[in-house]
Chain A
């Protein structure tokens, strides 16, 4: 019974969301507000139940002497909300400063070690790695791929270099950079369309296979 009610509710809310495609209407507004409210409520509940409770409140309650240092993190977190009191809003900057510094530290080493160095190392290759067995193999030659990466990177950088006027040498290079950018945006846009369409397919699958078919007894 619970499943049936849930399916009907989800199906009707899906139709309410789709109704915007015809034109804006109060049913869509209701579904939109309900979705925003439920999502936020769920997130607040999850953060309290899965983050604050097991990582802060319970350790402090069970053994304060051993876990008192958690208070420091708790206070820094609470300080972020002081900004809503204009008179002492500046205090929030301390919490924010520690938060930002922590993530810069974590992210910096992670990016260098996990992304920049390995990808740079794989790009720097000898220029004698060519596959000449077939046309397809030639276009996947390691040396050709590396050369393309180098030409693409530098031409895009030149496009964004505004400190010098783009003259006879700079202009064609920056135009090549635009081509690299457009191809990359095109690939990203194609994948994005595919991703959004996949969500539509998921919803219509739900409406047909989980709602209409069972309702009609098919």
Chain B
């Protein structure tokens, strides 16, 4: 017994890496379909979008880079799919400098392809990247055309039907920011505070705890916290819109729901190792005390 305890306390950390890798790989190869409960913050976001009228204009801001894409991509994609399924018009913009424009272009192209009846420029548009984060937000409060004179292809936005009747961020029904870092927070503390536009945030899990205060204070219309929040949102839209449900079932692309199987498996492994470590530690201390 004593030998086993010593071995457990001196276990090579590479065994832990091995089990963690295994617990991610197996659910990817064989999806487990574990249940995911919906948190109130995600439900709020979903209900808010559901309450909008067809034809309303929403803004989807890509405020993250490739380093957090596994968490933020499914959120941005889920939100855009939801909006287009509800016949809302989606304006996409990018405020994060490092690689976000490429991600936004990919998502807009992929989802535009999934909704062939939606017309670019009328139902959705990609404004591309603009440097200056807070300065851009402030300017959008006065005039979107001043901040983004053209779309990502260089077409003047005054020529795009999607902007008919839309002058500033005040006319946008909700801003969804898929965010890493501080840009997401600025949408709340600047755009919502100064112009009153409702904001839904999709932060990385690392930043999610701080946004609960904004939900409690009524400054956020909802939040998708990390991959878990994205998975909850995917589940909600798949349930409400059968076409999207079928798509999420069929696609071989990465989805947050699939990712949550691996999350659960890894957490199980981590908990087991924490228990083993604690049991071995306290048992060895007890043994030392006796001797």
Give A residues with C-beta under 8 Å from B: 21-22, 39, 42-43, 46-47, 50-51, 54-55, 106, 110-111, 113-115, 118-119, 121-123, 145, 184, 187-188, 191-206, 208-209, 213
Q: Is the CB of A118 within 8 A of B219?
A: yes
Cβ–Cβ contact B129 & A200, under 8 A: no
Chain A residues lying within 8 Å of B189, measured Cβ to Cβ, are 110-111, 113-115
A46 touches which one: B14, B98, B205, B259 (CB < 8 A)? B98
Known: A145-B216, A194-B227, A202-B70. A114 touches B262 (CB 8 A): no
Chain A residue nearest to B212 (CB atoms) is A187
B252 neighbours in A (Cβ, 8 Å): 209, 213
Most buried by A among B68, B99, B217: B217
Is the pair B68, A199 in contact by a Cβ cutoff of 8 Å?
yes
Identify which of A22, A202, A204, A206 gathers the most chain B CB atoms within 10 Å of its CB: A202
Q: Which of B98, B193, B227 contacts A114 (CB 8 A)?
A: B193
Which residue of B is nearest A213, CB measured?
B252
B71 contacts A204, C-beta separation under 8 Å: no
B284 located at the interface, meaning its Cβ lies under 8 Å from any Cβ of chain A in the complex: no
Q: Is the CB of B192 within 8 A of A119?
A: no
Of residues 180 to 198 in B, which have CB atoms within 8 Å of A's CB atoms?
A: 186, 188-190, 192-194
Smallest beta-carbon distance A189→chain B, Å: 10
Q: Is the CB of A122 within 8 A of B218?
A: yes
Binary flags per residue of B1-40, CB closer than 8 Å to A gives 1, else 0: 0000000000000100100110011001100000000000
| Contact yes or no, B193 A199, CB < 8 A | no
Select one of A42, A110, A197 contacting B263, CB under 8 A.
A197
User: CB of B51 within 8 A of chain A?
Assistant: no
CB neighbours (8 Å) of A209 from chain B are: 28, 252-254
- Among the listed A114, A202, A213, which residue makes an inter-chain contact with B254, where contact means beta carbons less than 8 Å apart? A202
Contact of B24 among A21, A106, A204 (CB under 8 A): A204
Contact in complex: B226, A198 (CB < 8 Å): yes
Contact B98 A42 (CB under 8 A): yes
User: B24 near A118 (CB under 8 angstroms)?
Assistant: no
Shortest A150–chain B CB gap in Å is 13
Residues of A within 8 A of B219 (CB): 114, 118-119
Contacts of B193 in A (CB 8 A): 110, 113-114, 118
14 contacts between A and B (CB under 8 A): A43-B97, A110-B193, A122-B218, A191-B205, A191-B206, A192-B206, A193-B270, A195-B206, A197-B262, A200-B24, A202-B71, A202-B254, A208-B25, A209-B28
Residues of B within 8 A of A (CB): 14, 17, 20-21, 24-25, 28-29, 67-71, 97-99, 129-132, 134, 186, 188-190, 192-194, 204-206, 208-209, 213-214, 216-219, 225-228, 252-254, 258-259, 262-263, 266-267, 270
Chain A: interface secondary structure?
A: helix
Q: Is the Cβ of B25 less than 8 Å from the Cβ of A198?
A: no
Q: Which residues of B contact A204 (CB under 8 A)?
A: 21, 24-25, 28, 262
Q: Are A191 and B98 closer than 8 Å at their CB atoms? A: no
Which B residues are in CB contact (< 8 Å) with A42? 98-99
Q: Which residue of A lies closest to B40 (CB)?
A: A140
Chain A residues near B67 (CB-CB < 8 A): 199
CB–CB B259/A195 < 8 A: no
Q: Contacts of A202 on B, CB cut-off 8 Å?
A: 69-71, 254, 259
**Which residues of chain A are near B218, meaning CB under 8 Å?**
118, 122
A47: B residues at CB distance < 8 A: 97, 131
- The smallest C-beta distance from A210 to any residue of chain B, in angstroms, reads 9
Q: Which residues of A contact B131 (CB under 8 A)?
A: 47, 50-51, 54-55
Smallest Cβ distance from B63 to chain A, in angstroms? 15
Q: In the complex, what's the smallest C-beta–C-beta distance from A36 to chain B, in angstroms?
A: 13
Quote the shortest CB–CB distance from A187 to chain B (angstroms).
Answer: 5
B188-A114 in contact (CB<8A): yes
Within the assembled complex, what's the spacing in Å between the Cα atoms of A70 and B24? 52
> Please, which residue of chain A has its CB at the minimum distance from the CB of B193?
A114
Rounded to whole Å, the gap between the CB of B156 and the closest CB of chain A is 16
Quote the shortest CB–CB distance from B105 to chain A (angstroms). Answer: 15
Top 9 closest A-B pairs, CB basis?
A202-B70, A114-B189, A195-B205, A114-B193, A122-B217, A195-B206, A194-B205, A198-B227, A119-B217
